[in-house]
Structure formats: structure tokens, C-alpha cells
Amino acid sequence: MVDTRFSVSIQILLTLAYHGEELSRSEMLAKAVKSHPTFIRKLVSRLVAGGLVQSVRGKGGGVKLAIDPQDITLKDIYLVALDEKPIICTHKNTVTKSCAVSCSMNDILKKLVYDMDANTQTHLEKTRLSDLLKKIS
């Protein structure tokens, strides 16, 4: 299964940044992303809770960026979109006690996944939403 929460969250935030102070509705965002509005609302809810998006309720309401795109790193989006869980997780298979490989896999994979996630976050911290916004023609 492919997890699109991070990439869709980037697209949502880029759309909001592109439209500036204009409020956007989840239906419009879903159409732009070509995704289901319920999925978009769940992601927007995370982005609001994470302080990246501001929600305005009522008639004519919608969402917009809560902070300047220059102040949002891809790491910020990654942590909010994935609820601070790594994008890659280890499997939970039962250990076969008579197999040395099976007994070692959990420790091996935990370290591997931890290192991958740490490297990913370090890399994502170097790019800001405003850097991606500049690439939109």
C-alpha cells in the first residue's frame, strides 16, 4: 500500500500558498488533488492541528496557510501529515524461535527504519514550502 498523506499534504499547502489569503474549500482542494473530499478534510484537519493551516468556519469559510511558506519546511509537513510516525514501518510477524534470522529481524529492521527516517527528516528540513512554490510556473 502506498501512503500519499505526505505528498497530498504538500500539494494542499502549495495550493493554499499559491492562492495567498484567499480561502479554499475542501471540495476545491479535492478536485485539484483529484482525491476524495473526506481524505482531504482529514489531512486538512491534521494540518490545522499542526498549526500550518488556519480554518475559517461559516458561510464563505475555508482554509488558508497559517504561517508564511518561508517558515514551513518539508520536515514540518512530514511530521504533521504522518502524525510523527515513520513512513516505513517494520512488520509484526511472529518470531520463529528456531530461526536465528527471524529472531534478529526486529532489531535489525528497527535500527534500519530509524536511520532511514532520521536521514529523511534531515533532508526534508533543508527545503521550505516557499522553495517549491517558486517552481510553479
Distance between CA atoms of residues 64 and 54, nearest Å: 5
Instruction: For residue range 51-109, list pLDDT tens digits in order.
Output: 999 999 988 899 999 999 999 999 999 999 987 666 676 777 788 889 999 888 888 88
Residues 13, 74 contacting (CB under 8 angstroms): no
Cβ(47)–Cβ(12) under 8 Å? yes
Query: What separation in angstroms does the CA of 23 have from each of 109, 120, 130, 131?
Result: 43, 32, 19, 22
- Domain that residue 59 falls in: 5-133
C-alpha distances (whole Å) from 89 to each of 11, 39, 113 are: 24, 22, 7
DSSP code of residue 94: P
Q: What is the pLDDT of residue 1?
A: 57
Residue 94, pLDDT score:
81
The CATH number given to whatever domain includes residue 28 is 1.10.10.10
CB atoms within 10 A of CB 22: 9
pTM: 0.85
State how many domains the chain has: 1
